[in-house]
Amino acid sequence: LCGVALLAVGIWVSVDGSSFLKIFGPLSSSAMQFVNVGYFLIAAGAVLFALGFLGCYGAQTENKCALMMFFLILLIIFIAEIAAAVVALVYTTMAEHFLTFLIVPTIKKDYGSQKDFTQVWNTTMAGLKCCGFNNYTDFEGSPYFMKNHTFPPYCCADDGNGTTTEPCTKEKADVKIVQGCFSQLLYDIRTNAVTVGGVAAGIGGLELAAMIVSMYLYCNLQ
């Protein structure tokens, strides 16, 4: 059911992202705004749906092969999540360089030309009170900059609130020094570390429970 729900939302975002943002705008300041949200949700929904179907099919038909596949896929996902968490905690700088390599070129290519992408980033910068991924230089060479010869207003506004009425030039952006969204996101995550840790622990617990149940059924089937 969760897989179907994610698939539906992913297709909705991909087809009509602007209406999605109008409804869920206040909730849109999250890590997922740095990537193509729609395709990410479609992929996650498809994996969850296939995994759930495999587990239900194996339990219902007492198919040991399906149960073992379900267990192994969950185990791989669980190990990958642990590895990702370790990398994120221990190698934050490496993760930042990797994300910069992926995200900054996309900003330079699509910000100002792709409506949904631009709107997502505007919502992100307004919600997190930040500018770009690293700073205002991420927008140099973007369609928005080439057209207006200025940076987004969030890069020059007080506290990144985007209320400035004057053009955001390089000189003004240098003076304001609005921090990048990656730094702000890390700060928010650390501030809410207990909540983030609780959610991660809950997901890990569910995965462990599913693996235990599937292995129990596998071992007790004739």
Identify the DSSP state of 151.
B
Q: What's this model's pTM, rounded to 2 decimal places?
A: 0.54
Q: What is the mean pLDDT of the chain?
A: 77
Which range has highest mean pLDDT (20-29, 49-58, 84-93, 149-158)? 149-158
Strand ranges for 43-197 from DSSP E: none
The confidence band for 29, taking pLDDT boundaries of 50, 70 and 90, is: very low
Flag whether pLDDT at 15 surpasses 80: no
| 221 φψ region: left (φ > 0), alpha (ψ -120 to 50), beta (else) | beta
Least Cα distance to 130 among 80, 167, 182, 76 occurs for: 182
| Structure token digits, residue 194 | 């207990």
Least confident of 21-30, 71-80, 112-121: 21-30
Most confident of 31-35, 98-102, 160-164: 98-102
Domain chopping of the chain, boundaries: 1-61, 62-220
Q: What is the mean pLDDT of residues 41-61?
A: 79
What pLDDT sits at residue 34? 42
Query: Which tokens belong to 7?
Result: 């698939």
Would you report the helix, strand and coil content of the chain in percent, each value rounded to 5? 80, 0, 20
User: For 113-160, how does the pLDDT look when each residue is reduced to its tens digit (9 = 90+)?
Assistant: 888 788 888 888 888 888 988 889 999 999 999 998 999 988 988 754
